């Protein structure tokens, strides 16, 4: 079973709080079994055995189907069919992707929900609003390692004053701070994450100075460290 980060925003999500207790428990369990892309088999029998392995006697398939439909109505999941097989995708899943490929086929573009989440609430936007206001001009980074590589190159070029040892922690801090609020900065969507990461790293370097005695040495004099 994959590891998942369940953010505190779920507690104040209007969409999640519109669910019944039964459906909310279903949704929370669902987050634990979907793949890194938020997708899973949507058949009731499969969901029942995957989500309730120790409660099969108390959770029937019709209850699973009812919960699934409630999540779809709340725009928390998208249901779709590929070659006669039923699948689901959790909207705005935004977990750190470890797998290069999903275990399940992706829904067609027109099937995708336009439900987006901010740090406090899950707010629904129209498709045109999403394209106009929330589409990054450059693709968001898929992994922390991508941010780390960018900061490492920037530090070597002298754009930020980070030592090699600081870069992994700074990259992780940047990823966590932006991912926690759905890749926004002060409520505004991040459209150019590379420059945003440099700005973050500049502040990080000021607040995390290297230990005394290391300031006179060029940390990038040894290129093998890169």
Q: Please give the average pLDDT of every successive group of 10 residues along the chain, which has 226 residues.
A: 62 89 95 90 96 94 96 93 92 63 65 37 40 58 83 89 90 85 85 91 89 58 43
Residue 51: give its domain's CATH number: 1.10.10
Q: What's the rounded Cα separation, in Å, for the pair 47 and 61?
A: 8
138 is a domain residue: no
21 is a domain residue: yes
Residue where a domain terminates, one of 105, 133, 161: 133
pLDDT of residue 110: 41
Which SS3 state, helix, strand or coil, does residue 192 take? coil
Q: What's the rounded Cα separation, in Å, for the pair 166 and 184?
A: 24
pLDDT of residue 103: 64
151 shares its domain with 182:
yes
Global pTM reads 0.47
When divided into structural domains, the chain yields a total of 2
Contact 174, 141 (CB under 8 A): no
Overall size of the chain counted in residues: 226
163 is a domain residue: yes
122 shares its domain with 168:
no
pLDDT of residue 226: 38
Which H helix or E strand runs over 50?
helix 44-51
Q: What's the rounded Cα separation, in Å, for the pair 78 and 91?
A: 7
pLDDT of residue 137: 58
Q: What's the rounded Cα separation, in Å, for the pair 65 and 19?
A: 14
Q: Could you tell me the residue range of the domain that residue 105 belongs to?
A: 8-133
Q: What's the rounded Cα separation, in Å, for the pair 155 and 220?
A: 8
pLDDT of residue 145: 83
pLDDT of residue 126: 39
Contacts of the segment 194-197: beta carbons below 8 A, 24+ positions apart: 194/138, 194/150, 197/147, 197/150, 197/151, 197/154, 197/171
């Amino acid at each position: 079973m994959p590891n998942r980060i369940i953010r505190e925003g779920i507690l104040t999500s209007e969409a999640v709080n519109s669910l019944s207790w039964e459906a909310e428990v279903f949704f929370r369990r669902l987050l634990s079994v979907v793949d890194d892309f938020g997708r899973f088999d949507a058949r009731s029998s499969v969901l029942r055995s995957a989500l309730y392995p120790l409660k099969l006697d108390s959770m029937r398939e019709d209850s699973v189907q009812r919960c699934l439909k409630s999540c779809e109505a709340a725009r928390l999941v998208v249901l779709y069919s590929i070659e006669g097989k039923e699948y689901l995708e959790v909207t705005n899943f935004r977990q750190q992707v470890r797998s290069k490929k999903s275990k399940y086929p992706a829904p067609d573009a027109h099937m995708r929900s336009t439900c987006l989440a901010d740090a406090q609430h899950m707010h629904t936007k129209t498709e045109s609003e999403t394209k106009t206001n929330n589409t990054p001009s450059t693709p968001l980074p898929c992994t922390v390692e991508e941010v780390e590589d960018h900061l490492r190159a920037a530090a070597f070029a002298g754009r930020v004053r980070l030592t090699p040892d600081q870069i992994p922690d700074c990259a992780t801090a940047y990823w966590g701070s932006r991912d926690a609020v759905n890749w926004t900065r002060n409520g505004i969507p991040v459209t150019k994450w590379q420059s945003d990461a440099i700005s973050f790293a500049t502040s990080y370097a000021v607040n995390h100075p290297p230990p005394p005695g290391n300031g006179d040495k060029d940390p990038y004099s040894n290129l093998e460290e890169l």
